[in-house]
A = this chain, B = another copy of it.
Amino acid sequence: MVPSPEDDERFLRLAIEAARRARERGNHPFGAVLVDSASRVLLEAENSVLTDRDPTAHAELSLIRTAGARYDPSALAACTLYASTEPCPMCSGAIYWGGIRRLVYGLGQSRFYELTGGGEKLALSCREVLAAASERLEVVGPLIEDEAVQVHEGFWSPAA
């Protein structure tokens, strides 16, 4: 069963809360939540790149690592991953390899890049990275962007 639009917004807010915790702990403001087909929250994860000194410790990737160890592929294939901000290409790939069925994100990349002022970046959207997998991995977003943007406010210094 796919979560309702109301459920999608509710779980996205949990992902945004995880992003807020990441920021409070001195990390980048990104969070992710994994929800099963019965709308149960299985996992929450937050960015820990700075405190863990791990360039790959984005919220979504850390969540997939834990999920792979804890759940069977058949369970993951029924899950939705909620990301507070559109996943980068690394995380989009991790979500693919994790065998997740559905990805829902809040703040979209183009509006996120407006905040950071552009600068150096991986410019591909998650739909571009996941295009070849679109039959088994549904992508929904951006959603509730006006809420999702708030956790980023005042955090990023726009590039010159």
Contacts and interface: CB of A to CB of B under 8 A. Distances in A.
Interface of A: 49, 52-58, 61, 64-65, 68-69, 88-94, 96-99, 120-124, 128-133, 136
A94 B132 contact: no
Copies of this chain per assembly: 2
A97 to B, nearest CB: 4
B53 A94 contact: no
B120 A93 contact: no
A99 B129 contact: no
> Mostly helix, strand, loop or mixed at chain A's interface?
helix
9 contacts: A55-B64, A55-B65, A56-B61, A58-B97, A89-B93, A90-B93, A120-B136, A123-B131, A124-B129
Contacts of A136: 120
Nearest to A71: B53
A55 B99 contact: yes
Contacts of A94: 55-56, 90
Contacts of A57: 65
